[in-house]
Amino acid sequence: MYLRKRYGESRIDGCPFCGKPSTSKNSQGVPVCIAHKKLLLDGLRCVCGSFLDVMAGKWGAYCRCPKCGNVNFKRALEMNPNLLKPQVPKPQKSSEKKKEVVIRSDELHLYY
Ligand SMILES: [Zn+2]
Ligand SMILES: [Zn+2]
């Protein structure tokens, strides 16, 4: 028994917005989860700086750069990590409490 590889279908990792299994598609043909069905991928930029067009192809979504041609969809997402995951300011580490060092005068005396 062996598993037959189904090219083009097993490559989809999930919703590009949240990573959940993509059970739906948005109007661009991008596989997304139901919660993000109405979201569009806008403003993806290529490495060359041009804006990418999101296209729906036979094997799923891909991107198209006016200068570079077709760009792998997954790669386009990797090039635009900030677009999909809004930057959340990192919480400052305030949990580390400063250890109070109390030096008593009689201990201080020992250092002399
Ligand atoms: Zn999603
Ligand atoms: Zn390009």
Amino acid (one-letter) located at 75: R
The pLDDT tens digits of the residues spanning 1-12 come to 565 655 544 455
Q: For all residues of the chain together, what is the average pLDDT?
A: 79
- Distance (Å) from CA 78 to ligand 2 centroid: 14
CA atoms of 41 and 43, how far apart (whole Å): 7
- Distance (Å) from CA 66 to ligand 2 centroid: 7
Report which bound ligand comes closest to the CA of 49: 2
Report which bound ligand comes closest to the CA of 51: 2
Ion ligand 1: residue ranges with CB closer than 5 A: 15, 17-18, 33, 36
The pLDDT tens digits of the residues spanning 16-68 come to 888 899 999 999 999 899 999 999 988 899 999 999 999 988 877 899 999 99
State residue 10's pLDDT score.
Answer: 47
Q: Rounded to whole angstroms, what are the CA distances from 48 to 1, 42, 44?
A: 46, 17, 11
- Distance (Å) from CA 41 to ligand 2 centroid: 17
- Distance (Å) from CA 35 to ligand 1 centroid: 6
